Chain A
Amino acid sequence: MIGDIEVRGREELFINIHPIQAAGRLTPEAMKAMIAYGDGYSTCDWCRKPFRLDKISRPPISEFHLELAEFVGMDQARVVPGARRGFQAVVSSLVEKGDSVIVSSLAHYTEFLAVEDVGGVVKEVPLDEENVITGENTAQKIEKVKQDTGKLPKLILMDHFDYMFGNEHDIHGVGKVARDYCIPFSVNCVYSLGVMPIDGREMGADFIVGSGHKSFASPAPSGVVATTDEWADKVFRTTQMVGDVSKRRFGVKEVEMLGCTLMGANLIAMMASFPRVRERVKHWDDELKKSNYFINEFLKIEGNKVLSEMPRKHTLTKVDTTGSFDKIARTHKRRGFFFSDELKKRRIVGEFSGATRQWKLNTYGLTWDQIKYLAQSFHGIAKKYGINVA
């Protein structure tokens, strides 16, 4: 215990399949960084002129920013306190009151809020029959907006992989549409940047936004916003404000970043994880093999379904156990919690407690031994309750 705060040992004691926690688990290097740099403004020990976070060279924060931009195939990058602040910076720079912004109909709520914050209006692209956003549907929506409002949308905000199904969307197709209509294109890579290779230029993106705590083995909040040189002056514009009494100026500070962004341990932990993150994205195929192995085993349980696209292109998957574990829950004295109890007995956590119909899981970062153990555990629970396993 830390006073009355319990120690969180779940990553050491349990297999955790929580949909949003998997790829944000810290590397040992990040854990060490948290120990050494936890004090408030720890990154400011060697802050010298021009007094801005991304210019600090000790520890090598400045170098990290350059490497980060290169890592995502863009010209410039900034760290931000969560991807949502990245969406906000982009939207706030480009969108004005009444402007339309194209989003996915699986867009994260923070994309909605970023647009609402500036008085814009979201216009959702419908999914196709596979729950995927296509370039064609995006073009149709743009035409509809143009027809309805007499103006083109100011921005396209599109998810690479969505949070609901973990489906891959046609980013290249959307990027082509964005270019055809000359609409700036921002890609939400919250579920991809840090787990698989990302090349913003190749995607046709003007902006790339990622999450440190979701996919970059970093603490919350942390994230990335990256752009091209063409857009950097707009999104990373510096303040022009002058105090009317004091005549003070803060010239080098970037307006959308509110000056310095991710100060302290969160940034240093991101930096500490970076070498391992850079390496792990090369092994995304292995993660997909494990994800598909588990899902195939999961589907051997009679009544189980997968709601995400198949075969899996991500480790995040939405499943449906209405035809299996939910049947047991209907008459069990613990209702849906029987399933959580059974998982916990087998040292597995992270499912939505009590849910036995539609729920999500994420296998990212588990070893093969853990994946096989997970599959066997699901089979074991099914067999215990008389559900057939093929």
Chain B
Amino acid sequence: MVEKAVEETFEALFALTDLRQIFRDTKPTYRFNSEQKRQIRDIIEKVRGSLDVIEKELIK
């Protein structure tokens, strides 16, 4: 289903946009608090999940 891959492409881009915001909020020292560390972990997990779906839908 290409639709699913397209949807996950946007989801991954949006998750990475949330990461951009964390950079913006913490610059220039990037001392992350526990909540921000949790958000970063969630974002990475989300992007990995989206990439897995994209790979499955398009390549495998």
Residues on A lying within 8 angstroms of B by beta carbon are 11-15, 25, 28, 31-32, 35-36, 346-348, 367, 369-370, 373
Contact = CB atoms under 8 A, between A and B. Distances in A.
Given A28-B20, A28-B21, A31-B20, A15 B28 contact: yes
Contacts of A347: 27-28
A379 to B, nearest CB: 16
A35 B13 contact: yes
Classify the interface of chain A: helix, strand, loop or mixed.
Answer: helix
Nearest to A36: B10
A13 B27 contact: yes
A155 to B, nearest CB: 40
Contact of A373 (B18, B20, B29): B29
B28 A28 contact: no
Contacts of B28: 13-15, 346-348, 373
Interface in B17-38: 17-18, 20-21, 23-29, 31
Nearest to A13: B27
B17 A32 contact: yes
Contacts, number: 40
Given A35-B10, A35-B13, A36-B10, A12 B27 contact: yes
Which one of B13, B14, B24, B29 has the highest number of Cβ atoms from chain A below 10 Å of its Cβ? B24
Nearest to B28: A347
Contact of A35 (B17, B23, B24): B17
20 contacts: A11-B24, A13-B23, A13-B27, A14-B27, A14-B28, A15-B27, A15-B28, A25-B24, A32-B17, A35-B17, A36-B10, A346-B28, A347-B27, A347-B28, A348-B28, A367-B25, A369-B26, A369-B31, A370-B27, A373-B28
A373 B26 CA distance: 11
Given A13-B27, A31-B20, A373-B28, 5 more contacts: A12-B27, A13-B28, A31-B17, A32-B17, A369-B29
B18 A28 contact: yes
A12 B18 contact: no
A14 B27 CA distance: 6
A107 to B, nearest CB: 33
Contacts of A25: 24
Contacts of B23: 12-13
A36 B14 CA distance: 9
B26 to A, nearest CB: 8
A369 B26 CA distance: 8
A346 B14 CA distance: 30
Contacts of A32: 13-14, 17
